[in-house]
Amino acid sequence: MDIIEAKNIDFYYSDFHALKNVSLGIAKNSVTAFIGPSGCGKSTFLRLLNRMNDLIPDTKLAGKCLVNGEDIYAKGVDVDTLRKKIGMVFQKPNPFPKTIFENIAYGLRVNRMGNKEFIRNRVEESLKAAALWDEVKDKMNRSAYDLSGGQQQRLCIARALAVKPDILLMDEPASALDPISTAKIEDLIFDLKTQYTIVIVTHNMQQAARVSDSTGFFMLGELIEFSDTKKMFLNPAKEQTQNYITGRFG
């Protein structure tokens, strides 16, 4: 069974029809990339998966969004618990104005997860999982703002991992980073999929081709094509996909 299932999703910002009848299934422990031109709906769809769009006034959703077989928009769903299970990393690194240690420990403390020793161990595990531990283990009491942009983004990934989510959403996680930091994030995504299901929005088609197992191509709010990444890039089913991938538009 797919860990994420979208069924006939329509989404509106006020009168603007941002997503049109989108249906897809995402397999567990896979990396799924969404590509498409700016404003095509890919980030809107990503934010549906942990109800981040709830924070925007005057929006409307039709259709079903299931995670582990449960409708995440059903009455009585605890959104805080949902967001613990479905972590998110944003385009620009957004560390808290705290120490490196407290950035990772924050979610554990807020959710009252464990004692001091548990938190200390979990912080170390999360930083190791985000391939950052060796770079910061002697600087844990320094401000997170002392880190480089690429390190800050890996810190934000570690922060999301600390509460042990099932799914990690990434909205253009490397677009603000230099090529070396981008390569580290891509290597990290590849390593993390053994334990997590990862969904990534990217403008960078080469990145999608490198890191993902499946790719969805969005255009004007519609999911034009969703398939195995290799197939999409080598032999897309739709002419619109072919035109976008080859740079004829977008």
Task: For residues 127-136, give the mean pLDDT.
Answer: 96
Could you give the angle at which helices 100-110 and 116-129 cross, rounded to 10 degrees?
Answer: 120
Which residues, in sequence order, are bridge partners of residue 89? 170
CB 184 within 8 Å of CB 100: no
pLDDT at 248 over 80: no
Q: Is the pTM of this model over 0.85?
A: yes
Pick the CATH number of 4-93+167-245 from 1.10.10.10, 3.40.50.300, 1.10.760.10, 1.10.357.10: 3.40.50.300
Q: What is the per-residue pLDDT across 41-88, written as a single tens digit (0 to 9) for each?
A: 999 999 999 999 999 999 999 999 999 999 999 999 999 999 999 999
C-alpha distances (whole Å) from 85 to each of 17, 61, 132, 171, 215 are 28, 21, 22, 17, 23
* Spans of all domains in the chain: 4-93+167-245
Q: What is the per-residue pLDDT across 176-229, written as a single tens digit (0 to 9) for each?
A: 889 999 999 999 999 999 999 999 999 999 999 999 999 999 999 999 999 999
